[in-house]
Amino acid sequence: MLLVGPPGAGKSMLAQRFASLLPAMTADEALASAAVASLVGRFYPARYGVRPFAAPHHTASAVALVGGGSPPKPGEISLAHHGVLFLDEFPEFSRASLEALREPLETGLIRIARAAHQAEFPAQFQLIAAMNPCPCGFLGHPTKACRDTPDQVSRYQGKLSGPLLDRIDLHINVQAVPPEQLLNTKSGEQHDQGEDSHVIQQRVEAAHQLAMSRQGSANNLLIGELLNTHMQLAHDAKAFVQQAATKLQWSARRMHRVMRVARTIADLEHSPQVASVHVAEAVQYQRVLGVGH
Ligand SMILES: [Zn+2]
């Protein structure tokens, strides 16, 4: 997920809460996460079975982020295995670090090849990336003016390559919270009137169980023929996807991602079939960055 919004919109808070929305860890997942953490002395018994949350700073080296060294050690992406990797100020990470994320985002693994050593570490994480829409942060802000030239905005957003953005399922605009809304809540903490994390977590768990009982895996692992078999795309939804793909010039990779997101939205609503309304919502989560792509 890529969160785009001005400073103070609550992007970090959302990212930190995210791990608590995920389904409970299975025993295999808990063991795998603990094994990776123990390789670098970061396993604590009290954290066993709790989804890991890693939030490396944007100045972290590519080796610290994805792993490496001699002998090779896992990086933050592997320490976030079966958990959440939060990358704030996403475009500020080095080009090398950003491009190195492409392989694990695709395969859930990172291969480290040095002359003397080869290693492979698991890196199946939920990526939450956050960024301002422009260098000053206020592009599209309802009350504050952006000080950047279109060129500066384009250069800033352009640090994220098309192929990298193609691997991120959900692109979301996070709006600034109006001051009056902040004042109406206790001690400045933001409360969404509706639901607490626990209620949402149960909904996530139910959707995950639906996917598991249908195809024995989570929706993000649906590829090729499996995707066609389990999409159960309504007739008009199929036409809708094809139109959107042509109009927005999606790569095949992006189109498949949109389909998996639509399948998940349908699962959240306990709908066996993926209807055009689910596809339309999935399309809405593509590309909120306007320039340079
Ligand atoms: Zn700006």
Q: Hey, where are the domains in the chain? A: 2-188, 197-284
Which pTM value belongs to this model? 0.90
141: CA distance to ligand 1 center in Å?
9
Nearest alpha-carbon partner for 166 in 99, 121, 264, 214: 99
**Nearest-10 Cα torsion for 103, 107, 110, 116:** -90
What is the rounded average pLDDT of the residues 238-246?
A: 91
- Residue-wise pLDDT tens digits, 90-99: 999 999 999 9
Give pLDDT, residue 291. 43
Distance 97 CA to ligand 1 centre (A): 24
Residue 123 to residues 33, 37, 51, 127, 268, Cα–Cα distance (Å): 10, 12, 13, 10, 26
Read off the amino acid at residue 103.
E
Report yes or no: 122 and 78 within 8 Å, Cβ to Cβ: yes
Q: Which of 134-138, 175-179, 228-232, 265-269 has the lowest mean pLDDT?
A: 175-179
133: CA distance to ligand 1 center in Å?
A: 7
Write the pLDDT tens digit of every residue in 261-277.
999 999 999 999 999 99
Q: What is the CA(147)–ligand 1 centre distance, in A?
A: 5
Looking at domain 2-188, its CATH architecture is: 3-Layer(aba) Sandwich (3.40)
Query: Which pLDDT score, from 0 to 100, does residue 103 have?
Result: 93
pLDDT one-digit tens code per residue, 70-86: 889 999 999 999 999 99
Beta bridge partner(s), residue 85: 54, 127
Ligand 1 center to residue 145 CA distance, Å?
7
User: From CA 245, how far away is CA 279, in angstroms rounded?
Assistant: 11
How many angstroms is it from 154 CA to the middle of ligand 1?
11
Own/partner long-range contacts of 55-61 (Cβ < 8 Å, ≥24 apart): 55/15, 55/85, 55/86, 55/87, 55/88, 56/87, 58/87, 58/88, 58/89, 58/90, 58/92, 58/93, 60/93, 60/97, 61/94, 61/97
Per-residue DSSP letter, 159: T
Q: How far is the CA of 6 from the centre of ligand 1 (A)?
A: 9
What's the CA-to-centroid distance between 8 and ligand 1, angstroms? Answer: 15
Q: Ligand 1: distance of its center to the CA of 130 in Å?
A: 16
CA 151 to centroid of ligand 1, rounded, Å: 11
pLDDT band at 184 (very low <50, low <70, confident <90, very high): low
C-beta separation of 256 from 227 below 8 A: yes
Ligand 1 center to 58 CA (angstroms)? 20
pLDDT computed for residue 206 by the predictor = 96
Residue 127's beta-bridge partner residues?
85
CA of 159 to the centre of ligand 1 (A): 15
For residue 153, the CA-to-ligand 1 centroid distance in Å is 7
pLDDT score of 172 more than 90 = yes
Give me the pLDDT at residue 36, please.
96
pLDDT mean across residues, the chain? 90
Secondary structure of residue 216 in the 3-state scheme: coil
- Ligand 1 center–CA 258 separation, angstroms: 29
**SS3 per residue for 73-131:** EECHHHHCCCCEEEECCHHHCCHHHHHHCHHHHHHCEEEEECCCCEEEEECCCEEEEEE
Ligand 1 centroid to Cα of residue 165, in Å, is 21
